[in-house]
Chains A and B, each alone.
Chain A
Amino acid sequence: MIVNRAPEQSRRIRNSALALLSVALAVYFAYIALTIYRSRH
């Protein structure tokens, strides 16, 4: 259900979702980068 929210709550929801998404992407690329590093040393 799409509900109307207070702007402050919307901002908090958006920021926490983006932060978590960034963590997921960072882990993904970090693991590939670490494996590349490991296979070159």
Chain B
Amino acid sequence: MAHATDTAHDAHDDQPATGIKRWLFATNHKDIGTMYLVFSLIMFFVGGTMAMIIRAELFEPGLQLVDPGFFNEMTTMHALVMIFGAVMPAFVGLANWMIPLQVGAPDMALPRMNNFSFWILPFAFTLLLSTLFVPGGAPAGGWTMYPPLALQFGDSFPMLIFAIHLMGVSSIMGAINVIVTILNMRAPGMSLLKMPLFCWSWLITAYLLIAVMPVLAGAVTMLLTDHFFGTSFFNAAGGGDPLMFEHIFWFFGHPEVYIMILPAFGVISEIIPTFSRKPLFGASSMIYAIASIAFLSFIVWGHHMFADGMPLAAQMFFMMSTMLIAVPTGVKVFNWTATMWRGSLSFEPPMLFALGFLFMFTIGGFSGLMLALVPADFQYNQSYFVVAHFHYVLVPGAVFSIMGAVYYWLPKWTGNMYNMKLAKTHFWLSTIFVNVLFFPQHFLGLAGMPRRIPDYAVQFTDWNMVSSIGAFGFGLSQILFAIAIIQCVRGGQKATAKVWSDATPTGLEWTIPSPAPYHSFTTAPEVH
């Protein structure tokens, strides 16, 4: 598709600042992208440690390592850290790095706001994680913060609410930056339909963020006033409606799920064509599919609440609308497969992760269809089947796509190739262990094991042991990821501008040298 006619980079006199100032006052999209990605990796290990505690406790029945209250704190904090601290910032980091490079812009449209968006996050997560040390402990009622349970949290409650507000502000500012950059700063000749799929997926995701993060903010503001200012929005004792919170929360919560997966679709749509040496099959239908999924995400929230009681007509509506999502998702899976059909495939680490995504995200998609069926959901609700479902979508789905994206663009960022053998070992270990970890949870759920419990009946022991072994294996495998990145940053075989030159990477990012110069596209390239 596009190629740059002017990729020359003039010797700039404004080089990066030295020391801490470079990062503290960063306005360069590459620096900010790097900070987001490093922050996300740290949070991935923090949230992962919590997951290890959960799986260690569940290794066998009975209570052995932690008390039940702390177990509940771990499940709640694991979710909050992974969603808001690991997955979302990772995609924002990728957006920061790649959107200006892919649209041929010198930087994000609002660089100072970009700095502010990032630097809010360390404060938000310091606040959130410090709740582990306050009287009453960290939030323990689940990441969904349902009242009235959430209103009974201890001193952690206002800290949680403030942290969530901060994360929301950060996300909204990040989303505004993405939209404004894409709409106003594309290189001459780059029409919207010529734009790479990663940018498209982020453009749509950014609109979702602006539409739903304020809804979460509104919900938690009302929780706060219920707790401290005597209102009764969700307090049944004062005439409020706890179910109303669930409706508002999931009106945010379901689009939030897509906020975590749509950029992943964009990443996969970049990787598969490159290593199939073919253009993406049905590129414009991919864009319409993402837009359809985004639209449908606003009308399916009730499927999270089937068992809470709702009119039959509402159950039918939410069931049908949820199943409808399978159509655009099916279009995407078909198009990725059709892209590979008769392609000249090669299996470098990004492609391996993309293929892992394709197989395992689809498993999560199918269990999602099972959960969409109202009568079946009454059985699956609150069981480990639900845990298996959303972890399949989020771990070998979203997280694998993030790892694939890092392996795809890391040589462009650092100028060095990474250790391919190490990266492939990381992929195979992760793929084996992620299935050992999450697949048995389907069996546990179908056999009746409830979620969010520190102890269980003895008949669930075997599969829990298998799942925990998978968890430890998966956790340890991620050390290879960190090693591969650190080695690559420190040096290695030099990468060419095209990086994957024996494949066919397309897009403006491959027209600039590797590593990407500190200032790129100071003169807008022309796209034909």
Q: Which residues of A contact B (CB under 8 A)?
A: 1-3, 9, 12-13, 16-17, 20-21, 23-25, 27-29, 31-32, 35-36, 38-39
Min CB distance B3 to A, Å, is 23
B217 at the binding interface (Cβ < 8 Å): yes
Contact of B519 among A1, A16, A27 (CB under 8 A): A1
Can you show 21 pairs from A to B with CB atoms below 8 A apart?
Answer: A1-B14, A1-B28, A2-B112, A3-B522, A17-B109, A17-B110, A17-B180, A20-B180, A21-B172, A21-B176, A24-B172, A25-B214, A27-B210, A27-B212, A29-B218, A32-B218, A32-B222, A35-B218, A35-B233, A36-B233, A39-B233
A12-B184, A32-B221, A35-B233 given; A20·B210 CB < 8 A: yes
B230 at the binding interface (Cβ < 8 Å): no
Residues of A within 8 A of B239 (CB): 39
B179 at the binding interface (Cβ < 8 Å): yes
A19–B137 CA distance with the chains assembled, in angstroms: 40
Interface size on B, residues (CB 8 A): 39
A17–B217 CA distance with the chains assembled, in angstroms: 20
Majority DSSP secondary structure for residues of B touching A: helix
Q: Is the CB of B111 within 8 A of A2?
A: yes
Stretch among B82-90, B240-248, B275-283 lining the A interface: B240-248
Contact of B110 among A13, A27, A29 (CB under 8 A): A13
Interface string of B113-137 (1 = CB under 8 A from A): 1000000000000000000000000
A31–B113 CA distance with the chains assembled, in angstroms: 26
Residues of A within 8 A of B256 (CB): none
Q: Is the CB of B176 within 8 A of A3?
A: no
Known: A1-B27, A13-B184, A27-B215. 17 other contacts (CB 8 A): A1-B107, A1-B519, A3-B106, A3-B522, A9-B184, A13-B110, A16-B179, A20-B175, A20-B176, A20-B210, A23-B210, A28-B218, A31-B218, A32-B218, A32-B222, A35-B218, A39-B240
Contact of A27 among B28, B175, B176, B214 (CB under 8 A): B214
A2-B111, A13-B110, A39-B244 given; A31·B210 CB < 8 A: no
Residue of B nearest to A11 (CB): B184
Q: Is the CB of A13 within 8 A of B109?
A: yes
Q: Is the CB of A16 within 8 A of B183?
A: yes
